[in-house]
Amino acid sequence: MLEDRKIFKRLKKGDRDALCIVYEKYRDSLRTIAGSMLHDTGGAEDVLHDVFVAFAQKARQLKIKGSLRSYLATCVANRVRDEYRRKQARTVQLDHVEPVSSVSDGPDNRIMADEGTQALVRALASIPFEQREVVLLHLKGALTFREIARIQKTTTSTTHGRYRYGLQKLRTLLDGEFTHESR
């Protein structure tokens, strides 16, 4: 967190290397959040690009109170919500869900091709968007329930409920999938 504050101060002064450092540090986790929420690798790249362009343009005026990671994850979530609203009429077919991965992923990050991960991607695609958003922002984005409630414009208790119900549905779906496979 202290390192992020130093980098952010450099960025506010116009240091382009600082922007590269922030991008390199957070791109994979932010891409994972966007891709898991959108179920579209190309869309995730677009969201990531849009967020960082806006971040770079506004960096000198920004006043970030919390962590830089939380701020960027919030920006990604807001951008994804905008995309989701635009594409809501077009439903994702579960047979066509792509795994989210990066060209820069190392061998240990290639787990996305694994069957268990594919099952998780399918399960995430089948739970309601608001629940999926809370689960991903809390687990992958490291946002607090209060921060997520602010993003979703709801109460913290509603956010807790969405998280709990989302996890329950994921467990049920994944238990069912793995029970069927083991037969």
CA distance 59 to 8: 8
Name the residue with tokens 């049920």: 172
CATH number of 110-183: 1.10.10.10
Written as tens digits, the pLDDT of the chain (183 aa) is 678 889 888 988 888 899 999 999 999 999 989 888 888 888 889 999 999 999 999 988 888 888 888 899 999 999 988 877 776 644 444 444 454 444 445 554 454 456 777 788 888 889 998 999 999 989 888 889 998 998 888 999 999 999 999 999 999 988 886 665 555
For the chain, give every domain's residue range: 1-91, 110-183
pTM over 0.85: no
Instruction: Name every residue whose Cβ is closer than 8 Å to that of residue 90 and which is 6 or more positions away in sequence.
Output: none
Residue-level pLDDT at 15: 87
Class of the domain covering 1-91: mainly alpha
